[in-house]
Chain A
């Protein structure tokens, strides 16, 4: 069965849609139209492909992590090396696409929200390259814990605005970016960093990230002559996961696992796992999806050691994939993610982002369960340089002395 989502109004079953104030409805329709045309324009696609090759460094390698595989004691663990992209994460696949679209629409100014700072850096990077001005909204708490990325954004010429209301994390940064956009719609292009937000963002960001899975599928087939048993990716808003999954959606024999942040443990309530332990369906940031909220519908504070997963919502397509049973969602806590961070660093010489470490932690468990005949692909969505301070602080310096 072929997969055709979303419908023309941006719905994935009951999820998605366009829940925004009236001021943004016209601009979203304009964006949808422009994206629709660009997709079908061979010149746009050619420029995108060239940038992904020459500027980002694609295709990213598919790497067999032999020592990690040996330690896990089961299925071969392959890493899709999005950490090797220019700017160090999968985020740039999407910002390149949206920036080309912004230029096509004649917009002179890019804005973005960021949590870990990777999307902010990727947006500031493409803004510098295209000569567009750039403002990045970032929660005050995230500014403190992702300081290296804040410095990078400023060096790239972006203005980083600290968001001090609410929980001071990704959700509040997104609120503030939406407010900016509503005020400056004429000249501004809002570069959303994940597969959430109002239609057409979830579909558009997915399409730009789908290159991850398209490459991985071909690379794996060339290498192993068959498809992997499973794919594993961390899920914040869900863009690196959707990007990896999409080319495999019609391959029913490939199991899909999205890994959310269990923070201090699902039972503690201090987590960021709307799909695994959320409150059900809700509406935030322009779309209906799984969400974390209280009995009055107020959005709950979240916790994760990784800023990029510290978000109470999730892209609507993941909600749909969960309900349809096509993908499964699990959660990994802070400690397990940290252990996986160290394991990959010491066994493979690769420092993973704390976000990606959640996927690695689950992949080790899954590999053992699947056994030696199987193979799986983990999306190594980003590199961990930005997290060195967080890890050191969390472990009281243990990481540095070890």
Chain B
């Protein structure tokens, strides 16, 4: 069983998985592996690492600036894969998902990228600006390498497209909870719950929910009906706050621990 599958299987019926997001190389490449271990200590079930891109069109200001910091620090796509390999030396258990944009991956080559991911211990990849319709070659290469291909669902996804996306996805599906970019805060929990329920009738894979989950309260609320809760900008803002690397990591760890505690507390609520 893949690490992602195993993680969701172990949590099924108990509580939502917690998936924190950080941008790889932010603020510097040397901070990333310590941050990843801190996320695990705080209770992360899966870790999502953003691959920096010069033009992150689906991201709001917080993650845009994280991408800029990472690129300014010399981070490359190849380096992100190496950072995951370094993380794997001390953690063989926690699934790692990379999230990024098409151009750097296409520049490396889908086959080369997928093989490098597999070798480094990357479990899944989500390319934000690559819908399944354009993903034939990427999917073939990822499948050959044994890397999960995660695709997005959104409030504008029709039921017909849902079937196409579900068929192309492995690992889990990522539901973008609101119309907008990362870091937005106009989340309507009741609406998300309703849409997710409708979608679930058509998909067998676990569905994670992200975009707009900013704190323990919103995480717990979404955790009542989602298989996973993805928290990004709120964490990235803590990284941006500056100070020494140790203080920054401690701040991130405390925040994620809080979110995780809220999920666990609500774990035995009806799901």
Q: Which residues of A are interface residues toward B (Cβ below 8 A)?
A: 9, 17-27, 29, 165-166, 171-172, 175, 178-179, 182-186, 281-286, 291, 293, 295-299
Q: Which of A9, A23, A296 interacts with B155 by CB under 8 Å?
A: A23
> In the complex the two chains form, what is the Cα distance from A284 to B128 in whole Å?
12
Q: Which of B108, B156, B165 has the most CB of A within 10 A?
A: B156
Q: Which of B107, B156, B184 interacts with A282 by CB under 8 Å?
A: B107
> Within the complex, what minimum Cβ distance (angstroms) separates A290 from chain B?
12
Is the beta-carbon distance between A22 and B54 smaller than 8 angstroms? no
Given A22-B131, A286-B129: A182 in contact with B103 (beta carbons within 8 A): no
Q: Which of B55, B105, B158, B181 interacts with A166 by CB under 8 Å?
A: B55
B102 proximity list for chain A (CB < 8 A): 19, 283
Q: Which of A281, A295, A299 interacts with B54 by CB under 8 Å?
A: A299
Given A22-B151, A296-B77: A166 in contact with B133 (beta carbons within 8 A): no
> Scoring B residues 93 to 127 as 1 if CB is less than 8 Å from chain A, else 0, what string do you get?
00000000111111110000000000000000000
Given A26-B158, A165-B64, A298-B71: A21 in contact with B152 (beta carbons within 8 A): yes
Q: Indicate whether B58 reaches chain A with its CB closer than 8 angstroms.
A: yes
Name the 9 nearest CB pairs between A and B, nearest first: A297-B107, A297-B104, A26-B156, A22-B152, A183-B180, A21-B58, A23-B154, A298-B54, A22-B154
> Within the complex, what minimum Cβ distance (angstroms) separates B129 from chain A?
5
Q: Which of B53, B54, B155, B184 has the most CB of A within 10 A?
A: B54
> Within the complex, what minimum Cβ distance (angstroms) separates B72 from chain A?
11
Q: Which residues of B are interface residues toward A (Cβ below 8 A)?
A: 53-61, 64-65, 68, 71, 76-78, 101-108, 128-131, 133-134, 151-158, 161, 165, 176, 179-181, 184
Q: A22-B131, A183-B179, A186-B179 are in contact. List 8 more A-B contacts (CB 8 A).
A: A22-B151, A22-B152, A23-B179, A165-B65, A285-B57, A295-B107, A298-B53, A298-B71
Q: Identify the closest chain B residue to A185 (Cβ).
A: B179
Is the beta-carbon distance between A26 and B161 smaller than 8 angstroms? yes
Q: What's the count of A-B pairs with C-beta under 8 Å?
A: 121
> Within the complex, what minimum Cβ distance (angstroms) separates A351 from chain B?
34
Q: Identify the closest chain B residue to A281 (Cβ).
A: B106
Given A26-B157, A282-B107, A297-B107: A21 in contact with B64 (beta carbons within 8 A): no
A22 proximity list for chain B (CB < 8 A): 131, 151-154, 156-157, 165, 176
Is the beta-carbon distance between A20 and B131 smaller than 8 angstroms? yes
Given A23-B154, A284-B103, A298-B54: A17 in contact with B134 (beta carbons within 8 A): yes
> In the complex the two chains form, what is the Cα distance from A286 to B102 in whole Å?
10
Is the beta-carbon distance between A19 and B156 smaller than 8 angstroms? no
Is the beta-carbon distance between B60 and A185 smaller than 8 angstroms? no
Q: Identify the closest chain B residue to A299 (Cβ).
A: B54
Is the beta-carbon distance between A25 and B107 smaller than 8 angstroms? no
> In the complex the two chains form, what is the Cα distance from A26 to B157 in whole Å?
6
Is the beta-carbon distance between B152 and A297 smaller than 8 angstroms? no
Is the beta-carbon distance between A165 and B68 smaller than 8 angstroms? yes
> In the complex the two chains form, what is the Cα distance from A182 to B153 in whole Å?
13
B179 proximity list for chain A (CB < 8 A): 23, 182-186
Is the beta-carbon distance between B133 and A9 smaller than 8 angstroms? yes
Q: Which of A21, A182, A186, A296 interacts with B107 by CB under 8 Å?
A: A296
Q: Identify the closest chain B residue to A172 (Cβ).
A: B55
11 contacts between A and B (CB under 8 A): A21-B128, A23-B176, A26-B158, A171-B55, A175-B55, A179-B59, A183-B181, A186-B179, A291-B103, A296-B76, A297-B106
> Within the complex, what minimum Cβ distance (angstroms) separates A286 from chain B?
7
> In the complex the two chains form, what is the Cα distance from A25 to B179 in whole Å?
12
> In the complex the two chains form, what is the Cα distance from A248 to B33 in whole Å?
58
Is the beta-carbon distance between A185 and B104 smaller than 8 angstroms? no
Is the beta-carbon distance between A297 and B108 smaller than 8 angstroms? yes
Is the beta-carbon distance between A183 and B156 smaller than 8 angstroms? no
> Within the complex, what minimum Cβ distance (angstroms) separates B110 from chain A?
12
Q: Identify the closest chain A residue to B68 (Cβ).
A: A165
> Within the complex, what minimum Cβ distance (angstroms) separates A59 from chain B?
38
B56 proximity list for chain A (CB < 8 A): 175
A291 proximity list for chain B (CB < 8 A): 103
> In the complex the two chains form, what is the Cα distance from A185 to B155 in whole Å?
11
> Within the complex, what minimum Cβ distance (angstroms) separates A108 from chain B?
16
> In the complex the two chains form, what is the Cα distance from A298 to B101 in whole Å?
10
B130 proximity list for chain A (CB < 8 A): 19
B58 proximity list for chain A (CB < 8 A): 21, 23, 179, 182
